[in-house]
Chain A
């Protein structure tokens, strides 16, 4: 069964450092997302991406965040200068037809710990 894969599974970084989280969405999907989940809290939307551009972003997704699809398979989330409060699980997700039109497939997540 096709799946969304994410790397790394866990990254520990110092405050102020740059972090890149990587995702390989399901191959025939067109819409890509990043969500964040702080420990014990709900899953929060960060950004959606379609046709090589951001289609929507939340208040959390400030200037420290950026996304990129550098090639035909990878979808990355970059945090330019990490803060303590960026510590969370980051989930990549994808689907074929965008919001409201079907199942959103999630990866296993990348745990980011900022010290």
Chain B
């Protein structure tokens, strides 16, 4: 069935390096995407979103890239810090008033 998934379940990066977390989605009709960060024992926290009419959006230290041709979403974190260690989920929203569908998550570990 159609689903949102991730290429890598875990990612370890050196402090100060850039991180790239990837996500594949299979529903070409999805028109809104969000990246969430989940720290241990906490609820998902919004990081950044992007609509399907865009291919790039930048926030503070984070950039989301959307490639609709290959149905791929990525989250780039610049100058990764220990506080960035968490599980990152991509989520997609299908058209209409439908709930978010989450992917499986990638655990990011920052090595000091």
- Taking Cβ atoms with an 8 Å cutoff, the residues of A that contact B are 4, 33, 35, 41-45, 48, 55-56, 91, 93, 98-109
Contacts and interface: CB of A to CB of B under 8 A. Distances in A.
Given A103-B46, A108-B42, A42 B98 contact: no
Given A41-B104, A99-B93, A100-B93, A48 B43 contact: no
Contact of A33 (B91, B94, B99, B101): B99
- Chain B interface size, as a band, is 20 to 34
B54 interface: no
B44 interface: yes
A104 B46 contact: yes
A103 B49 contact: yes
B99 A99 contact: yes
11 contacts: A45-B100, A45-B101, A48-B99, A56-B99, A100-B31, A100-B93, A103-B34, A105-B46, A106-B36, A106-B44, A106-B45
A40 B34 CA distance: 20
A100 B43 contact: no
